[in-house]
Amino acid sequence: MHEARVGCTRRLRAAKRNLKSVTRMYKKDIEKIRQMLEEQNYVADSAVVMSVYLAKTLQKPLLVEGPAGVGKTEIAKVMAKALDTDLIRLQCYEGLDANMALYEWNYQRQLLHIKLEEGGKKSLAERESTIFSEDFLLKRPLLQAITHHKPPVLLIDELDRSDEEFESFLLEILSEWQITIPEIGSIKAKEKPYVILTSNRTRELSDAIRRRCFYLWMDYPEYEKELAIVRSKVPGCDIRLAKQICVFMELIRKQKLEKIPGVAETLDWARSLVTLHQDHLDPEMVEATLGIVFKDRLDVEHVKGALSDLLEKVGVKIKELPLE
């Protein structure tokens, strides 16, 4: 009985040691992902880092939802650069179908080849097998990803803009990573791509797609994160100006607007003000550059009317922030 207890205790200790070892390795891998993103000047929080780590390690699609302009697409671009692989992008839109996403035959080249072969000795079957070969195939993004020589990053951008029929078709591709071209046969991916899907939630995606993916929600960043993004992406921006811009954007997103500006607009505005040699938010310059931030006439008019009050609040909030 005593020996059994001793054996059980030893096994528990060994299991604990193994668990600690696995935990250390996992934390090390997570830190590598964080550094990988930082090397590409991408400011990522822990949720983004964990999602990218799991999507990369398990090679399971990552669905990123959130408002426009918060950096969803950028995840795929940065991931491709960090992994030193190609980015293949499928931009979704209403009416997108399987042929546009998979492949088309190069009809012009086929017709030219038929013309050149006129009077030749090849049989009809031989000529057909020639013009319906891979040499005459126009590979669209999904087929490019399936036949790529090493795992690419496949970005399926704004999936919510496509029709539900296309979503069902995409589900089959994500399940099998195999397609059948009647004239050629079945083509199966040798290496599964890393897949990032994005959605702005203009419509609800199906539960089937959601179950197939890891899920990440990206909202407008908080002040500290947006400041870090501005300082990373616009290195010439004065620290006082960067702080004022980020506080201004934080206040703006609490207003009732038609189109709330995202991080992309923040960066465009910061770059524009740096180009104009600004080191702080000057009221006249802010009013003159509102079109960089706001993309709707009513929003511009609304902000113009509230500008003095907003800038006053920016001044108050800046004084409350800790000095660096």
Structure confidence by residue, pLDDT tens digits, 169-186 = 999 888 888 888 878 888
| Phi, psi for residue 186 in degrees, rounded to 5 | -85, 140
Q: Which of 307, 271, 302 is nearest to 286 (CA)?
A: 307
Average pLDDT over residues 250-263: 93
Given a cut of 70, whether residue 162 has pLDDT beyond it is yes
* 43: CB partners within 8 A, 6+ apart: 225, 228, 229, 232
Count CB atoms within 10 A of the CB of residue 277. Answer: 7
Band of residue 22 on the pLDDT scale cut at 50, 70, 90: very low
Band of residue 85 on the pLDDT scale cut at 50, 70, 90: very high
| Phi, psi for residue 106 in degrees, rounded to 5 | -80, 85
CATH class given for the domain over 43-102+140-217: alpha beta
pLDDT per residue as tens digits for the range 218-232: 999 999 999 999 999
Given a cut of 80, whether residue 263 has pLDDT beyond it is yes
Distance, in Å, from the CA atom of 324 to the CA atom of 321, rounded to the nearest integer, reads: 9
Distance, in Å, from the CA atom of 212 to the CA atom of 202, rounded to the nearest integer, reads: 20
State the pLDDT at residue 7.
59
pTM equals 0.81
Domain limits, the chain:
43-102+140-217, 223-320
